[in-house]
Amino acid sequence: MAGDFPAGRPAWQAAGARFVADVRPHEQRKLWLLNGGHSLLAYAGGARGHETVADAVSDPACRAELERWWDEAARHLPLPAAEVAEYRAALLERWSNRRIRHRLEQIAMDGWQKIPVRILPVLRLERGAGRLPPGAVHALAAWVRHLRGGASSARAVLARLDPALAEDRDLVTAVTAAV
């Protein structure tokens, strides 16, 4: 059983570790806010000529897209709003540090594996709630552009991710327009 320590559990909480009954919300928070935010900045920031996360997050246009994405994702995190806000603030502080040269080009790699777990879960939840989420739409559009795709390729990219997405006319229209 996880958490069984025959000689007693180390005092990790003394160093700030938290023990929770269900780790899934925290995994979702990391995937959607940290990783999803990184992907969005990689594609949107790269298109604007930025090289690092710090460059992209300091760009008001990229920052607005990031905040929009985070707002959408946060709606679906079963965590206290204050905890999510604190996490977002910590990410911004870390990502604004220009001494950390986290290159957008590196983050942008392997989007076919990353987008399905970082962006699509929130997109599906938003569509299920009857909303067309601009943050997710713009993240997908930025990725389509990164793939060197044009507006005409948006539907094909969505179909490769999930055929059901390509059948969502409103989504295809929105991503196509944003590309």
Where helices occur in the chain by DSSP H, the ranges are 24-29, 36-47, 53-57, 60-74, 81-95, 104-107, 111-118, 120-128, 134-146, 154-161, 163-166, 169-178
Q: Is the dihedral of CA 141, 145, 150, 154 positive or negative?
A: negative
User: Model confidence over 156-167: pLDDT tens digits?
Assistant: 999 999 999 999
Q: Answer whether 31's CB lies under 8 Å from 95's CB.
A: no
**Average pLDDT score over residue span 55-76:** 98
Q: Is the pLDDT of residue 70 over 80?
A: yes
The tokens for 130 are 């009857």
User: Model confidence over 119-178: pLDDT tens digits?
Assistant: 999 999 999 999 999 999 999 999 999 999 888 999 999 999 999 999 999 999 999 999
Neighbouring residues of 39: CB distance < 8 A, sequence distance ≥ 6: 107, 108, 111, 114, 115, 118, 119, 139, 143
pLDDT of the residue at 1? 41
Given pLDDT bands bounded at 50, 70 and 90, which one contains residue 2? low
**Average pLDDT score over residue span 79-99:** 97
d(CA 161, CA 18): 35
Q: Is the pLDDT of residue 32 over 70?
A: yes
pTM over 0.75: yes
